[in-house]
Homo-oligomer: A and B are copies of this chain.
Amino acid sequence: MKQFFSVADVDDLRGIVEEALRLKKDPFAFEDLGKRKTLGLVFLNPSLRTRLSTQKAAIQLGMDVMVMNMDKDGWALETRDGVAMDGKTVEHIREAAAVMGQYCDVLGIRSFPKLQDREEDYSEGLFKKFISFCGVPVVSLESATRHPLQSLTDLITIREHWQQDRKPKVVMAWGPHVKALPQAVPNSFSEWMCKAQMEGIVDFTIAYPQGYALSEAFTPGATVTNTLEDALQGADFVYVKNWSSYEDYGKIHPVSEKWMLDNGKLALTNQAKVMHCLPVRRDVELASEVLDGPNSLVIQEASNRVWAAQAVLKRMLEQLNKR
């Protein structure tokens, strides 16, 4: 594996999930694989779970980890070509990426969208340039439109908590928020679930209020509804997440119906397990009674971030060692 940016970078969805679960049982089974190899984690935006879980995964593979927080003022990267850098940007991504690739065997990078220019965000320019100029394998720590380590984690978590013969019904349900959030997590979850649906692993439904449709590129084959109650019928997993509008890009539309998942709404499901990528706004996005109740998987889900990262890094290291 030379990059981990979207579900398209994984050719065996079931295989990588099983690999992650084997690592969970025996975290140090490959602790020599990453010896003398350095992972660089570059954060243009804040991170808690992604940073700690990826660092932990790398350590368990024997890697050294260097973390760069570039989210503070004073290190603005230029991504445009053909402009004289006479403004606020201090370094071009061409040099920054190439240099970091000299110091690290594998790189991870996080960069959020600005939510102002949809075309710019969805072009994934910064991320693609970073991959192209750094010259080493790159793992996305969340980009403008996707969060693949989270989505792989989510698939692992569903697999781990589903023992029945039939396919589970997985519902991604929009939840309210006070801020305009990116579509990266829901895009990515949808992209992974749609592929899992194609492979006969899950049935996938998305529920959101009018005006919150995601880009169709991320939802092929998904059942879509604007009525939360309809979606929840028979659900085995409910994945709660807020996102801002894709159509009216980056905006928050007023929603009159009640979309926050609480115990009342949860009763409509098939005793569904409840997931959320965290951080979560309690009693805004998701009711405390659900988060603190027996159906919540949010902590187990966060815990599984380690195994998703470790499976991805393992594959990258194996490819590096082949050379």
| Residue positions of A touching B, CB distance < 8 A | 28, 36, 38, 40, 46, 48-49, 51-53, 55-56, 59-60, 64, 66, 68, 70, 72, 74-75, 78, 81-87, 90-92, 94-96, 98-100, 102-104, 178, 278-284, 288, 291-292, 298-299, 302-303, 306
Q: Is the CB of B282 within 8 A of A99?
A: no
Q: Do A59 and B64 form a contact, CB below 8 Å, given A84-B283, A98-B299?
A: yes
Quote the shortest CB–CB distance from A68 to chain B (angstroms): 7
Q: Is the CB of A83 within 8 A of B283?
A: yes
Q: Is the CB of B84 within 8 A of A282?
A: yes
Lowest 8 CB-CB distances: which A-B pairs, in order? A91-B279, A102-B303, A84-B283, A85-B281, A99-B302, A52-B103, A98-B299, A85-B282
A100 partner residues in chain B, CB cutoff 8 A: 48, 52
Q: Is the CB of B56 within 8 A of A95?
A: no
Q: Is the CB of B46 within 8 A of A36?
A: no
Q: Is the CB of B75 within 8 A of A48?
A: yes
Task: List the number of copies, as a whole number.
Answer: 3
Q: Is the CB of B91 within 8 A of A280?
A: yes
A55 — nearest CB in chain B belongs to which residue?
Answer: B66
A103 partner residues in chain B, CB cutoff 8 A: 52-53, 56, 303, 306
A281 partner residues in chain B, CB cutoff 8 A: 84-86, 90
Would you list 19 pairs from A and B whose C-beta atoms are within 8 A, ordered by A residue?
A: A46-B74, A46-B75, A48-B68, A48-B75, A48-B100, A49-B99, A52-B66, A52-B68, A52-B104, A59-B64, A72-B72, A78-B282, A90-B279, A95-B279, A99-B278, A99-B302, A102-B299, A102-B302, A102-B303
A78 partner residues in chain B, CB cutoff 8 A: 282
A97 — nearest CB in chain B belongs to which residue?
Answer: B299
A49 — nearest CB in chain B belongs to which residue?
Answer: B99
A60 — nearest CB in chain B belongs to which residue?
Answer: B36
Q: Do A99 and B178 form a contact, CB below 8 Å, given A279-B91, A281-B86?
A: no
Complex: A52 Cα to B66 Cα, angstroms: 7
